[in-house]
Structure 1
Amino acid sequence: MRALPIAVVAAAAALTLTACDSGGDSSSSDSGKKASAASSAAASTACKIDQIGIQVGPANAAPAAGDTGNVPVTLTNKGTECTLQGFPAVTVQDGGKSTDVPEEKAANPPKLTLAKSGTASFTITYVRGTAGDGKSLDATALKISLPGAATAQSFKWSYGPVAGKTGASDPNASVSSFQPAGD
């Protein structure tokens, strides 16, 4: 029977604390506005793919099935200062089939600011598959987009089939986060 009075007191205390907030505290609404403005500012300074030059390779291509290859990708800012944070979206394609390359699990992406003509890079690491094998994607094209962007740029993939872990739609590949490049 003692539990009932304690529950009633706890409920009454919770209602009392809730009733104390009139909703007129300007500091909480101001901080919400500031967070929204900061989010908008970050989005407006994000690098746009149409202002970035992209160079794929030269690669350390995997020579045979089962070997690992690395494809470096260099980005050069052709516009005003902008920021990159996170991972690029990378898709490998074979005609009508396409599959996303997953992000490197252990990476902790830094936030990079690119001045005009500044450079950054990332690396696509893949295991070469066997052409015509049902577990491999006979990749012929590569699509790259920047974080939060809907548009992508396409490039030729000439590094052989990409092995799948369990099938062609589960590539044995990864993409690193953006890293500073150059001086």
Structure 2
Amino acid sequence: MRALPIAVTVLAAALALTSCDGGGSGDSSGSGKSGDTAGSAKKAAAAVCRIGDEGIQVGPANAATAAGDTGNVPVTLTNKGAQCTLKGFPVLSVQAGGASADIVADKSAQPEQLTLAKGDTASFTITYVRGAAGDAKTLAAKTLKIGLPGAAAAQSFPWSYGPLAGKGSAGEPNASMTPFQHAGD
């Protein structure tokens, strides 16, 4: 029965090693903060998704065909980089020449934090009302800019779904977006 004393010795050594504070980098105040790798791993896992690491597909859309009609434009992101998180809503704006207007979040929607591994997909939907061409309250959008929450960079995509009706002016489009949600299987 020599295996029992060896197992006890190995267990005692393992317990002694786990009680070490990592070479003096820990917090001796008893606050529980330390320089351990578990805390570092959590921070690394919580990296914000960057637009350059995402493959983005805009559409195909259920486009509004006439002024006053409502259309929906799905946007799908595929993570091509390391694991990252999305929390909140995308940052969206539409542009027409020198004019730009933000698309706001759907106020009834509650965003969740999504963790995307490499190859995972997430999506959101833009819902808009088509405006009448030439109307002062309509923005003749040509470009959609997409940014991710917590990141500064954005990418531009063609807007080919017609002019956007304004709520009170062309600078306040009658459009909204849903939060991110997991897409696919």
In 1, distance between residues paired with 2:167 and 2:160? Answer: 20
SS at match of 2:134: coil
Q: 1:104-140 CA distances to partner (integer Å, 9 max, x unpaired)?
A: 1011001111111100000000000011111010000
SS at match of 2:161: coil
- What does residue 76 of structure 1 align with? 78
Q: 1:143-176 CA distances to partner (integer Å, 9 max, x unpaired)?
A: 0000011110000000000000100011110011
Report how far residue 42 of structure 1 moved: 7.0
- TM-score, normalised relative to structure 1: 0.78
* Mapped pair 1:142 → 2:132: no
Equivalent residue runs for 1:109-148 within 5 Å: 109-148=111-150
In 2, distance between residues paired with 1:112 and 1:42? Answer: 15
SS at match of 1:153: strand
In 2, distance between residues paired with 1:42 and 1:174? Answer: 32
Letter in 1 for 2:135: D
**Between Structure 1 and Structure 2, how many residues are aligned?**
154
- What does residue 47 of structure 1 align with? 49
RMSD, matched Cα:
2.2
- What does residue 59 of structure 2 align with? 57
Q: 1:174 aligns with which of 160, 163, 176?
A: 176
The verdict on how the C-alpha distance between 1:165 and 1:50 changes in structure 2, with shifts beyond 3 A counting, is same
In 2, distance between residues paired with 1:147 and 1:111? Answer: 11
Report how far residue 27 of structure 1 moved: 5.4
List runs of 5+ in structure 2 lacking aligned partners: 1-28
- Asked if 1 retains the 8 angstrom alpha-carbon contact of 2:79 and 2:117, the reply is yes
Q: 1:86 aligns with which of 75, 85, 88?
A: 88
Q: 1:74-130 CA distances to partner (integer Å, 9 max, x unpaired)?
A: 000001111111000000010100000001101100111111110000000000001
- Asked if 1 retains the 8 angstrom alpha-carbon contact of 2:49 and 2:148, the reply is yes
The verdict on how the C-alpha distance between 1:160 and 1:173 changes in structure 2, with shifts beyond 3 A counting, is same
- TM-score, normalised relative to structure 2: 0.77
The verdict on how the C-alpha distance between 1:44 and 1:69 changes in structure 2, with shifts beyond 3 A counting, is same
The verdict on how the C-alpha distance between 1:65 and 1:42 changes in structure 2, with shifts beyond 3 A counting, is farther
Q: 1:22-45 CA distances to partner (integer Å, 9 max, x unpaired)?
A: xxxx456x66x9xxx78x927951
SS at match of 1:41: helix
Q: What percentage of aligned pairs have identical amino acids? A: 65
- What does residue 102 of structure 2 align with? 100
Q: 1:12-61 CA distances to partner (integer Å, 9 max, x unpaired)?
A: xxxxxxxxxxxxxx456x66x9xxx78x9279511111100000000000
